[in-house]
Amino acid sequence: MKDVVLIDKPAGWTSFDVVAKIRGFVRAEYQAKGEKPTKKQLRVGHAGTLDPFATGLLIILLGDACKQAGDYLKLDKTYEFTAKLGEISTTGDPEGVITQKSSSQPSEKTIIEVLKHFSGKITQTPPAFSAIKINGHRAYKLAREGKSVEIPEREVTIHTLELVEYAYPYVRCVCDVSSGTYIRTLVEDIGKVLQTGAYCQQLRRTRIADYKIENALGVEDGLKSLSDTLEY
């Protein structure tokens, strides 16, 4: 679909950074042809925020496809993540203030048993540092200002959660989850059950429904592909 672009978001970029980069490219392409792009032609959005430290599949929507963003947000997703045990983070990821929590080293058997507790429908409290809106304001903006952020619990579904590798303090997993699932919160909750504390050190989204990371392009290659689809 020419109005849907799959991007492999690099670490350090926000989802909005990718949107802004593509919108700027589209504007420059039209201007280079001596044309002024319409509002529709400059309409660029994404279907599901990825944290800045995370990498992976980001669905970019162009033009009228932006109207279907809500439908994409409801789709199931697959993530690969690495949890670091023994430490906690104020943001649940490497960008927060890291604090030593425990030196306990659980066995691989214990890790596997604890992961089973997070299968099926579970309840989560999304992190304060998230894109959720509270009274019209993004939660992470309120949190950065030092304001109290209270986000209600939500029910999500963990379809699968499998251990890939365990080499203390790192636990690598892959999971298939419903929309609305926060992997940072999942990792923190796993750390609480283990009584070691944990934060999400690495996170990569590899699938959104039938869209897969294997079909995604890096940002620069994604821009090149757009040149062939723009309508002049």
Residue numbers annotated as active site: 51
Q: Is residue 105 exposed (0-12), middle (13-18) or buried (19+ Cβ within 10 Å)? A: exposed
In a 3-state reduction of DSSP, which class is residue 46? strand
* 123 DSSP β-pair partners: 155
- Write the DSSP assignment of 186-215 as a string of letters: HHHHHHHHHTS-EEEEEEEEEEETTEEGGG
Calpha distance 224→215 (Å, rounded): 15
In a 3-state reduction of DSSP, which class is residue 227? helix
Give the number of other CB atoms < 10 A from CB of residue 199: 25
Question: What Å distances lie between residue 211 and 48, 57, 59, 75, 157, CA to CA?
Answer: 13, 8, 8, 10, 19
Cβ-count burial 108-122 (b if 16+ within 10 Å, e if not): eeebeebbeebeeeb
